[in-house]
Structure 1
Amino acid sequence: MPTRRSLRIAILAVGPILLLFDVFVLNNLKHRVTDTRDSSTENEEQLSKTISLRTADIHPIIILSTFRSGSSLTGDILQQDRDSFYLYEPLNPLNYLMYQNISNLHLVNGSVQPIGIQDFNKVSTKILLSLITCDFTSLDVHIVSHGFLYYSNKSVPYITCVDRNKRRASLLFSIRKCLPILMEACEKSSHRIFKIVRLSMDWMEMLLEKFPKLVVVHLIRDPRPIQVSRDKLGANIFKDLRKSFQELCNLLSWNLFFETKMNNTYKRIVRLYYEDLAIYPFRTSKWLYKILGLHYTSDVQAHVHHLTRAGIQSDCPTCAVRANSSAHAYSWKGFFNASQLNDIQDVCGNYMKAVGYINS
């Protein structure tokens, strides 16, 4: 009995302290970012004011591509710039939540945001707005606690802090306690880079309009090795080969159309071919760093070598390391027979011709 009574007293004593600390951490964060608990209209107006104050010093970079197109390699190379803050597929948690048919997002600031089945694109652009401005408190707790944060150099200290603290406290408490680490890393980096494979090019227009220094890197890869890579991960493209390629090339053509259309206005969409990066990694990386205003150093060069030429074998299908990226670029050849290649040409021929891929 004395033990139970002591435990009850301890809980009653510690509980208010944790609550007060939780409130203190959240209030401290509120001084650094926009308070998003007001009505949606007021929130959007305040966000616009915040963005307008910050855009002069922010150089956002969005790597826009499709699943299995080499975006992991591209992102890992770009995050080696010392002044860059990089996040690996920050929209992935939202995609998972919507797959689970959730109806509300639970934000770090304590508010609840209703979400419908058709809201993915709209909500995704809002997430990118928050990420670009380092406004992490307006994000769902799953986004700022996802394991993909371990793939980004400057978010590792933060997510390590969260995982360590959530062993003895709630996830939300742990996020709020550790979030200043992530915010500082983001705010100190003028180049904020995000790898996106779940949003189409047309949704970039609003971001290009709001952020005058935003550059979109449109990463392109031959659709045939894209599908081979997806098949190896269980996509089973041979169940209906024509349909799977038709769907892919429709999306790729859509992105290409809006790249051309929006570049007539903004001129800030850079096309990058995965094959160039894989076959000529040093030359292409230097070119990309220069066009994006990043600093290509000997350390960056060494990391590019590690990723593409060091002969390091990796069984991780989603990692950036390849023993020989040149060989990997064309390892798909021989995967399709002549009849299948003709089917692919029928449904993807116009797109492949437009971007320079030949039927071979």
Structure 2
Amino acid sequence: MIRGKYILYCLCPFLTATFITLNVLLQRSCPYCPLFLSREVQPGSRTKLVLVLTYLRSGSTLTGDLLQQSPGSFYMYEPLRSHNSHIFLDGQVCQTFTMNCSKYETEKIIGVLEDLFQCRLQKHKMKVLVPRKHSLAIMSVVPFCKSRPGFDTCMTKIQTLCHRSSSVILKTIRVSMALLPSLLEKFPDLRVIHLLRDPRGILDSRRRGGFLRNTGIEQSARSLCDLLRINIEYSKILQRQFPDRITTVLYEDLAESPLELSHKLYRHLHLEYSDNFEEWVFNHTSAGTPNNSYYGTIRSNSSQTSQSWRKRLKFEDVKAIEKTCAGVIELIGFRNVTDKEDLQNTTRTLRIRDRKT
């Protein structure tokens, strides 16, 4: 009996080493297969967590694409997309274009975000799979999913990939700053990018996309700028409460100095660079390649794109937006136009030197 125990004791290290070796070999031959070892790597000190909080037509798709170029990142694009044109405030859900609100248990939305940041994806299949084409990580698993049909099998692969990622990145236009305190407390490594854009540029882009058909420029401006004002003020409170974890980024900064701002973002978020990082940034912002679509992220000249609203919007519409958004445009870092010439002369900057956000 004692001899048997001694033999088993001697074999244990060998069997463990063999088991680990087989596990490593499996992962090399099938990187998205679940581990033999049941150890679940929880996002935490090892995994960087990033939330891009932003607004419809604010340059967020480009920003999300930029961040997911980091090797080992797991990117989820608009996981709350099924809620359509709604945004969640503290205890309320509001229609994006009118800000008509009703009571809502927003703890449910916080719970969804907590699950996603912890790679608990099985009960959120549609939130992850429907917008899959925007995620490089999820698209890398699609060939396997097609060869072995079944949501559960597919989600197991995707979930395993999420657990093994060095960073988990979410981008959403459907959450307000008011929902962030509990997330920031639960995840000490979570960093938030608050992506802003000149509301005149946002509204011009929404108008071109047909989003203002039922509201008009003034009502849309009021809804947008009310939300911007609330979020900017709330972000100041969160920045004091959670130092260095809330970063305000201007789309115009990214468009005018894409490489410089990209490097700043990566350093701040501690993201790894891909080998072709600078080439990717250049090709998507400055290469002169024709714009690929209204919803695409390739721009022949992103700096010109960020100012193109000045050529398209009527002077009267611009002044209506400025009147409705009194104070918000300046708060973000821009000034009002003085006349038609000032509006259309893009060599004149509308920047205010000291941005107040």
Q: TM-score, normalised by structure 2?
A: 0.74
Are 1:158 and 1:179, in contact at CA under 8 Å, matched by a contact in 2? no
Cα distance in 2 for residues equivalent to 1:313 and 1:197: 27
Distance change (3 Å), C-alpha of 1:163 and 1:222: farther
Cα distance in 2 for residues equivalent to 1:317 and 1:120: 34
Cα distance in 2 for residues equivalent to 1:309 and 1:121: 40
- Pair 1:125-2:110 in alignment: yes
Distance change (3 Å), C-alpha of 1:128 and 1:326: same
Cα distance in 2 for residues equivalent to 1:322 and 1:120: 40
| Partner of residue 145, structure 1 | 129
- Pair 1:56-2:45 in alignment: yes
Are 2:292 and 2:299, in contact at CA under 8 Å, matched by a contact in 1? no
Cα distance in 1 for residues equivalent to 2:140 and 2:63: 22
Per-residue Cα deviation, 1:28-55 (whole angstroms, up to 9, x for no partner)? 99x677xxxxxxxxxxxxxxxx9xx652
Cα distance in 2 for residues equivalent to 1:211 and 1:235: 35
| Partner of residue 170, structure 1 | none
| Partner of residue 45, structure 1 | none
| Partner of residue 136, structure 1 | 121
Per-residue Cα deviation, 1:306-347 (whole angstroms, up to 9, x for no partner)? 111122223422221111111101000033333322221221
Find the residue that maps to 2:276 and give its secondary structure. Answer: helix
Distance change (3 Å), C-alpha of 1:155 and 1:118: farther
Cα distance in 2 for residues equivalent to 1:345 and 1:96: 24
Are 2:204 and 2:313, in contact at CA under 8 Å, matched by a contact in 1? no
- 1:313 pairs with one of 268, 290, 294: 290
| Partner of residue 255, structure 2 | 278
Q: Which moved more, 1:337-346 or 1:208-217?
A: 337-346
| Partner of residue 107, structure 1 | none
Cα distance in 2 for residues equivalent to 1:118 and 1:165: 42
Q: Which moved more, 1:220-229 or 1:297-306?
A: 297-306
Letter of the 1:138 counterpart: K
Q: TM-score, normalised by structure 1?
A: 0.74
- Pair 1:245-2:229 in alignment: no
| Partner of residue 233, structure 2 | 257
Q: Which moved more, 1:284-293 or 1:181-190?
A: 181-190
Q: Which moved more, 1:207-216 or 1:238-247?
A: 238-247
| Partner of residue 230, structure 1 | 206
Are 1:145 and 1:175, in contact at CA under 8 Å, matched by a contact in 2? no
Find the residue that maps to 1:57 and give its secondary structure. Answer: coil
Distance change (3 Å), C-alpha of 1:160 and 1:123: farther
Find the residue that maps to 1:182 and give its secondary structure. Answer: helix
In the TM superposition, residue 192 of structure 1 has moved relative to its aligned partner by 0.7
- 2:163 pairs with one of 182, 187, 190: 187
Alignment of 1:291-306 (within 5 A): 291-306=268-283
Are 2:58 and 2:196, in contact at CA under 8 Å, matched by a contact in 1? yes
Cα distance in 2 for residues equivalent to 1:185 and 1:272: 29
Cα distance in 2 for residues equivalent to 1:90 and 1:246: 26
Are 1:307 and 1:320, in contact at CA under 8 Å, matched by a contact in 2? yes
| Partner of residue 193, structure 2 | 217
Distance change (3 Å), C-alpha of 1:176 and 1:28: farther
Cα distance in 2 for residues equivalent to 1:177 and 1:32: 19
Distance change (3 Å), C-alpha of 1:237 and 1:340: farther
Per-residue Cα deviation, 1:157-209 (whole angstroms, up to 9, x for no partner)? 3344445545xxxxxxx111122321222111131111111111111111101
Are 1:145 and 1:159, in contact at CA under 8 Å, matched by a contact in 2? no
In the TM superposition, residue 120 of structure 1 has moved relative to its aligned partner by 7.2
In the TM superposition, residue 75 of structure 1 has moved relative to its aligned partner by 0.7
- Pair 1:341-2:318 in alignment: yes
- 1:359 pairs with one of 336, 339, 345: 336
Distance change (3 Å), C-alpha of 1:306 and 1:341: same
RMSD: 2.6
Find the residue that maps to 2:44 and give its secondary structure. Answer: helix
| Partner of residue 158, structure 1 | 141
In the TM superposition, residue 359 of structure 1 has moved relative to its aligned partner by 0.9
| Partner of residue 89, structure 1 | 78
Distance change (3 Å), C-alpha of 1:95 and 1:28: farther
Distance change (3 Å), C-alpha of 1:94 and 1:346: closer
Cα distance in 2 for residues equivalent to 1:321 and 1:181: 30
| Contiguous gaps of at least 5 residues in structure 1 | 1-26, 34-49, 99-116, 167-173
Distance change (3 Å), C-alpha of 1:59 and 1:277: same
Letter of the 1:333 counterpart: R
Identity of aligned residues (%): 30
Size of the aligned set, in residue pairs, is: 288
Distance change (3 Å), C-alpha of 1:317 and 1:270: same
Find the residue that maps to 1:323 and give its secondary structure. Answer: coil
Find the residue that maps to 1:236 and give its secondary structure. Answer: coil
Find the residue that maps to 1:80 and give its secondary structure. Answer: coil
Find the residue that maps to 1:199 and give its secondary structure. Answer: coil
Distance change (3 Å), C-alpha of 1:200 and 1:97: closer
| Partner of residue 92, structure 2 | none
